[in-house]
Amino acid sequence: MQQQESPRDMESQVRGADPKTAVLIRHVGIGDLVWHLPYIRAVAAASRNGKVSVIAAPSTRAKDILAAEDCIDDVILYDRNPRRHEGRKGHHRGFAGLRRFARELERYQFERIFLFSRRYHHGILAWLAKIPTRIGFGTNLRQRVFLNQPPFISKYEGAGVGIYEEATALMIAHGIVPAAIVPRMKVPAAELAFGQDFIAKLPRPTVCFAIGTSEKHKHWGDERYGALAAELVARGYGVVLLGGPGEEDSARRIVAGVPEAQRAAVQPFTRGTIMQTAGILLAADGCVGNDTGVINMAAATGKPAICLLGKRPLLLHDPAIHCLDGVALNQLAVKDALAAVTSGISPGR
C-alpha cells in the first residue's frame, strides 16, 4: 500500500522548489523599470510558479506597466525618495520608514530577493525583512555585509547608462540569462487600439514628441520643439505631443510654434494613462524627445527613438535608440533633430 505524504513532507517539497522571489529596483524613473523588464521575466521564470514580486518606487508606474505581464505576483511600492518636483516626503523615508517597510515585506515570506542596487541600505532592508537569500550588486563592502549569495559584480565605468549594464551583469553572473537582452514591453490590445484611434486622422509618418521631464535643465525647450514640429508638418508628418498634466502649457506653446493652417497635424496628449501613451507609441512610427522614460518606452515597443540627450550618459542598450549628444542640450540645433527624424523615422517602421 502506497504511503501518503504528510503535510510536513509536502511543505518540504514546496520549499525545495523554485523560491518565492522578490525583485527590488532602486531607480525611480519609468525608463529604469523598462530597462529591467527582460530581467524581471527571467528571474520570474526561475521562481515559484513562474512569478515574481516587484518592489519599486511609485514614480516608475510599475503597477500600470507590469499589469500587462503574466509573471507578476505583486507590485509593492517602496515610497522612500519621491522626485523633487513632487514636493512631498516619502512614506518610507529614513531609517524608521525602512524598518516599517521591512515589516511589510516580512509578511510576504519571500525566500529570495534580487536587489538591482548598489545601495547598502537595500541590503539592510532585505536582512530586516528576514529574506534568507539576498542577492545584489555588491559593488561596495558595506552592501556585501548584508548580502549572502555571491558572485558580486563590479561597478560599470563605461560611456552608457550604468543601470542597465549593471543589471545585465548581475543576471549573467548568477546564470539567470546568458547575455544581455534588449528590453521589450507588452502593450495590451485595448491600448494599441486606443493609440491607433488617436492618431487615425494624423498624417503619416506620425512622430511622437517626448516633451516631459522631471528637471527643467533636461528639457530641450518649447520654442525648439515648436520649430521642429513646424518643419516636420511642412514635410507631411503628423506629430503627437506626449507628456503629463504638467506639460499642458508646454504643449500649447509648442502647438503655437506651428503655422495656424497646419496645426491640425499636431495633437497633444497630456491627460491619459501611461499605457495609453504606450499604445500611441506602438501605433505611431517613431519618437523624438528629451524624456528618456518615454524614449525607452518607444524603443521597447520596437519603434525608432531619437533621444535629445545633451551631455549625459548614452543609451546604448537598444539599437532602436539614436542619441543626439556631444553638446549641451540648449545648444542642440533644430536642424540636427530634423535630420535625425527624417532619416530615421518613416511609415511602418
Q: Decide if pLDDT at 299 tops 60.
A: yes
Residues 199 and 100 in one domain: no
CA angle 13, 14, 19 (to 5 degrees): 125
| Domain that residue 279 falls in | 190-344
Q: Decide if pLDDT at 348 tops 80.
A: no
Residues 224 and 133 in one domain: no
- CATH code at position 23: 3.40.50.2000
Residues 275 and 241 in one domain: yes
Domain membership of residue 20 (yes or no) is yes
Q: Decide if pLDDT at 93 tops 90.
A: no
Is 0.85 topped by the overall pTM?
A: yes
Amino acid at 241: L
Question: Which of 173, 198, 230 is at the close of a domain?
Answer: 173
Domain membership of residue 199 (yes or no) is yes
Domain membership of residue 59 (yes or no) is yes
For 168-179, what is each residue's pLDDT tens digit? Answer: 999 999 999 999
What total of structural domains would you count in the chain? 2
Domain membership of residue 349 (yes or no) is no
Sheet of strand 21-25: strand arrangement: 72-77, 52-56, 21-25, 112-116, 133-136
Q: From the CB of residue 261, how many other CB atoms can be counted at a distance below 10 Å?
A: 8
Q: What's the CA gap between 332 and 324, in Å, rounded?
A: 8
For 24-70, what is each residue's pLDDT tens digit? Answer: 999 989 999 999 999 999 999 999 999 999 999 999 999 999 999 99
